[in-house]
Amino acid sequence: MANLRWNGCLSALLWFTTVAWAEPYISPEGRFSAELSPATTCSTSQSESPVGDIVTTVYLDKQPGRFLTVSFTDLPKLALLAGRDRIFDEARDGMLQQCAGTQTSWQRQDSQTRRLLYTAPGHRGETIFRLEKYRLYVIDVRSEISLKPALDSQFLQSFKIISPPAASAPAPKEP
């Protein structure tokens, strides 16, 4: 009986801990909000491409058995000439390569949104790709297979764009 009480108390504590940080994490720079913990870290990386340098900003929330990520990339205008499908396909392929994942499902939700389900060693993952003007958002959750997926869905549904991206692409940098 004591074990049942202990498990109940522990479950309640974990539930309240999750709810305590459920205040939306707001990124003014990224113009989004999502249910990320205060321990979320932010990093940027820059890569070269045929259409110019591309900077990606990544917000990562490491939780026990789960990784929550929101990233965004401002794309040069020339990148959009290749078409949305190519942008989405390349982002998907990069995601799968980065996590050594295998695609389970790839769905078009609307003209601006794609959804990827995948498996990676010991994990399951779900990613939403959202293209707003010239900004590509990638919202990803990767969880250990033993964890229940309810919190995965809750995180993905918590993502909101809080102000629209700029109407034009960022100006190219002068060499």
Mean pLDDT over 12-41 rounds to 72
Q: Number of folded domains in the chain?
A: 1
Domain-located, residue 174: no
What is the chain's percent helix, strand, coil content, to nearest 5?
25, 40, 30
CATH number at residue 95: 3.40.1000.10
The CA angle 108-128-171, to the nearest 5 degrees, is 95
Domain-located, residue 86: yes
Q: Which residue has the higher pLDDT, 171 or 14?
A: 171
Q: Which residue has the higher pLDDT, 9 or 44?
A: 44
* Domain boundaries, position 54: 25-161
Domain-located, residue 10: no
Domain-located, residue 54: yes
Domain-located, residue 12: no
55 contacts: CB under 8 Å, gap ≥ 6: 44, 45, 46, 73, 74
The DSSP code for 16 is H
The DSSP code for 109 is E
pLDDT digits (tens, 9 = 90+) for 91-150: 999 999 999 999 999 999 999 999 999 999 999 999 999 999 889 999 999 999 999 888
Domain-located, residue 51: yes
Phi, psi (degrees; rounded to nearest 5) at 118:
-150, 165
Single pTM value for the model: 0.80
